[in-house]
């Protein structure tokens, strides 16, 4: 039996504890669980519930509100462990929002929101799983959003359309980003955008929200929606932070999130490589193991090296975040996300090739890894946009977008 070596990165006592605890929870969900949920387009509710019950959805919430008070250094361990357990990038993404979407509430929410909402999330009783940012006419260029929020007394009235809003069917709250100034009034592209907490039950009761699930070929554990808002009324007290400043709140958490996405890709790459090495060790063709062929070994060795190196970068960046300036962290975090998404894709592709025909049989899981790794190159930020950032900030080249 082939054993792949990964443990070269020293972990702190707290990181080890997280790895152990998350490993224990993930151990209750086998490959069949992930395979069947993905096949049936079904949200992994049992997995999410177990994480929530054990307080993991409140990992980033400060202890004073009942949360874990953790930071990116701990989160990269958690998410790598989840993806690496067999859940892959798809499994990690299914619960990623439940942890990360509440971050602006922690950092910019008013006291009422913090006191009413955060303890419920930390206790696993409510979730903020969805972020509505992308629109049909505003994907990578997110400052081009057209959805509007107009103040009317002690409410805002929201009109517009979002696309790709994920997990809207399983969340209690949606974090919605909308224009509170027209582009003409805004002093710059990032000005005049605000963030709102939308209670989905209340929104549905108003009949002001229409949702349509997008049929897709990957990340099938979570559903993504086209959603229309028609005169949706949101209490003004559900504005997050200052009016017109919402875009900056999105930017605040971006570097941390890039690193966490990278760690999900690393876990994903690890499990793909492990499965491939295992199969290469067992499968015999021409009276010998296929793993004796360098054509099988080398792609896996390359994917392994890329994964290992990227993991070092991710963990080191997570550890150095507080001592570097924002731009330095941005360069490292964008580089991490880019390299990790490539590593996940390269590993999954090599795993499919190693499995030959069984590479596309659902039973062997690597086809699921392959489909889902493809998305890591597109969302939540495309590889091209990370390259744009690094070209401008690290190479000092003119801004290209």
Ligand X SMILES: Cc1cc2nc3c(=O)[nH]c(=O)nc-3n(C[C@H](O)[C@H](O)[C@H](O)COP(=O)(O)OP(=O)(O)OC[C@H]3O[C@@H](n4cnc5c(N)ncnc54)[C@H](O)[C@@H]3O)c2cc1C
117/381 with CB nearer ligand X: 381
Q: How far is the CB of 80 from ligand X (least distance, A)?
A: 20
Q: How far is the CB of 69 from ligand X (least distance, A)?
A: 26
128/239 with CB nearer ligand X: 128
The SS3 call for residue 126 is coil
**Separation between Cα atoms, residue 262 and residue 382, nearest integer Å:** 13
8/401 with CB nearer ligand X: 401
Q: How far is the CB of 368 from ligand X (least distance, A)?
A: 14
**Separation between Cα atoms, residue 145 and residue 135, nearest integer Å:** 6
The SS3 call for residue 62 is coil
165/263 with CB nearer ligand X: 165
Q: How far is the CB of 352 from ligand X (least distance, A)?
A: 20
Could you tell me if 80 and 24 are in contact, meaning their C-beta atoms sit under 8 angstroms apart? no
Q: How far is the CB of 63 from ligand X (least distance, A)?
A: 28
- With CB under 6 A as the contact rule, which of the stretches 133-141, 244-252, 308-316, 340-348 interacts with ligand X? 133-141
**Separation between Cα atoms, residue 92 and residue 66, nearest integer Å:** 23
C-alpha torsion angle, residues 143, 389, 373, 175 (rounded to 10): -30
Q: Judged by CB under 6 A, which of 224, 307, 317, 354 binds ligand X?
A: 224
* Residue closest to 30 by CA, chosen among 269, 347, 365: 365
- With CB under 6 A as the contact rule, which of the stretches 25-33, 134-142, 235-243, 322-330 interacts with ligand X? 134-142
Q: Judged by CB under 6 A, which of 166, 171, 317, 386 binds ligand X?
A: 166
Q: Which of residues 34-93 bind ligand X (CB under 6 A)?
A: none
Q: How far is the CB of 216 from ligand X (least distance, A)?
A: 6
162/306 with CB nearer ligand X: 162
Q: How far is the CB of 226 from ligand X (least distance, A)?
A: 11
* Residue closest to 164 by CA, chosen among 226, 232, 116: 226
The CA angle 19-84-100, to the nearest 5 degrees, is: 70
- With CB under 6 A as the contact rule, which of the stretches 28-36, 124-132, 189-197, 240-248 interacts with ligand X? 124-132
Could you tell me if 319 and 259 are in contact, meaning their C-beta atoms sit under 8 angstroms apart? no
277/331 with CB nearer ligand X: 331
133/200 with CB nearer ligand X: 133
**Separation between Cα atoms, residue 386 and residue 186, nearest integer Å:** 26
Report which DSSP code applies to 138: B
Helices assigned H by DSSP within 128-253: 200-205, 246-252
Q: How far is the CB of 136 from ligand X (least distance, A)?
A: 8
Q: How far is the CB of 143 from ligand X (least distance, A)?
A: 12
Site string for ligand X, 372-391 (x = CB under 6 A): ---x--xxxxx-xx--x---
Q: How far is the CB of 293 from ligand X (least distance, A)?
A: 35
The verdict on 289 binding ligand X (CB under 6 A) reads: no
Identify the burial level of 269 via C-beta atoms within 10 angstroms of its C-beta, where 0-12 means exposed, 13-18 middle and 19 or more buried. Answer: buried
**Separation between Cα atoms, residue 335 and residue 45, nearest integer Å:** 33
**Separation between Cα atoms, residue 45 and residue 77, nearest integer Å:** 22
DSSP labels, 284-352: EETTEEGGGSHHHHHHHHHHHHHHHHHHHHHHHHHHHGGGS-HHHHHHHHHHHHHHHHHHHHHHHHHHH
Q: Which of residues 137-156 bind ligand X (CB under 6 A)?
A: 139-140
CB-closest chain residue to ligand X = 139
Residues near ligand X (CB under 6 A) are 130-134, 139-140, 164-166, 219, 224, 375, 378-382, 384-385, 388, 400-401
């Amino acid at each position: 039996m082939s054993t792949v070596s990964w443990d070269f990165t020293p972990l702190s006592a707290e990181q080890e504890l997280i790895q152990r605890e998350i490993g224990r929870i993930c151990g209750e969900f086998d490959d069949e669980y992930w395979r069947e949920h993905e096949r049936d387009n079904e949200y992994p509710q049992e997995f999410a519930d177990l994480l929530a019950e054990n307080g993991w959805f409140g990992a980033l919430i400060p202890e004073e509100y009942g949360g874990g008070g953790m930071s990116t250094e701990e989160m990269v361990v958690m998410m790598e462990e989840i993806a690496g357990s067999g859940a892959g990038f798809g499994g990690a993404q299914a619960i990623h929002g439940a942890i990360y979407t509440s971050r602006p509430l922690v950092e910019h929410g008013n006291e009422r929101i913090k006191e009413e909402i955060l303890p419920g999330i930390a206790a696993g009783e409510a979730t903020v799983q969805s972020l509505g940012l992308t629109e049909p006419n505003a994907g990578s260029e997110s400052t081009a959003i057209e959805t509007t929020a107009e103040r009317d007394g002690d409410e805002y009235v929201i009109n517009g359309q979002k696309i790709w809003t994920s997990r809207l069917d399983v969340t209690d709250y949606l974090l919605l980003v909308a224009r509170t100034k027209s582009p003409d009034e805004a002093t710059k592209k990032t000005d005049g955008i605000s963030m709102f907490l939308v209670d989905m039950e209340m929104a549905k009761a108003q009949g002001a929200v229409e949702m349509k699930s997008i049929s897709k070929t990957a990340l099938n554990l979570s559903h993504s929606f086209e959603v229309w808002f028609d005169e949706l009324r949101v209490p003004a007290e559900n504005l997050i932070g200052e009016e017109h400043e919402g875009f900056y709140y999105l930017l605040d958490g971006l570097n941390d999130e890039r690193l966490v996405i990278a760690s999900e890709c690393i876990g994903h790459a690890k499990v793909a490589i492990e499965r491939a090495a295992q199969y290469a060790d067992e499968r015999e063709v021409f009276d010998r193991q296929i793993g004796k062929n360098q054509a099988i070994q080398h792609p896996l060795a390359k994917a392994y090296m890329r994964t290992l190196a990227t993991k070092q970068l991710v963990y080191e960046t997570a550890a150095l975040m507080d001592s570097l300036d924002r731009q330095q962290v941005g360069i490292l975090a964008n580089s991490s996300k880019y390299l990790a998404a490539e590593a996940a894709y390269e590993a999954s592709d090599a795993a499919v090739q190693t499995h030959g025909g069984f590479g596309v049989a659902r039973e062997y899981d690597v086809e699921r890894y392959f489909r889902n790794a493809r998305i890591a190159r597109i969302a939540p930020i495309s590889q091209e946009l990370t390259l744009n950032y690094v070209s401008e900030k690290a190479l000092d080249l003119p801004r290209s977008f």
